[in-house]
Amino acid sequence: MKYFLPTGEWPLLEKPYHDLMKRIGLTLGHEENSDVLLLAGGADIGMRKGRDLAEFHLYDTWTSRKKPVLGICRGMQLMLHLNDGELIEHIPNASTEIMHTTITGDWRGQSSWHTTNLGLLTNSRHHQGFTQIPEFWDVIDKTDDGVIEAVQMNVHNKNQFAVQWHPEHNEMNNTLAQDWWIETVKSIL
């Protein structure tokens, strides 16, 4: 099977994604000959209009063809946003109930390590997120404060899966969390 990683005039360090997908047995393809769409991390939705438009179109095309879609960080945000999910623009400002902190007790919006309800130590690097998801999606994992870290569509295209954290980063290699991500992806392909 082949996967397509959209790249364009936006910065994206591609090698970590390619290395991760090789562990699943997928090779890089092109839009027209790929089986799986991988929506990667990056700038917030609305920050790069060209990227937004390109990925919105790709997501719509892929889902209309019932092809698998995977999302990482921004990719998850995009998938839920396009399915009418309510994005929290800035978690620290959202509510006093949401205290999205690291395991060390602070929040800086970068290099934040979180332990999820599944017991996974994840490397979420985000200040945006979701505490509720759209209809037809299931929460697979979240943190104690309710910020959703993994989702999967439960009807139509059950082959859509996304995480808020970064399984492709080097510090995640050979961890329980990365192994869980790989096995989950394999199960839906």
| Residues marked as catalytic | 73, 166, 168
Beta-bridged to residue 2, according to DSSP, are 27
How many Cβ atoms from other residues are within 10 Å of residue 65's Cβ? 9
Question: At 156, which amino acid appears?
Answer: H
Angle of the 74-82 helix axis to the 49-64 helix axis, nearest 10:
60
Cβ density class 24-41: b for 16+ within 10 Å, e for less: bebeeeeeeebebbbbbb
| Cα dihedral: 113, 48, 82, 181 (round 10) | -30
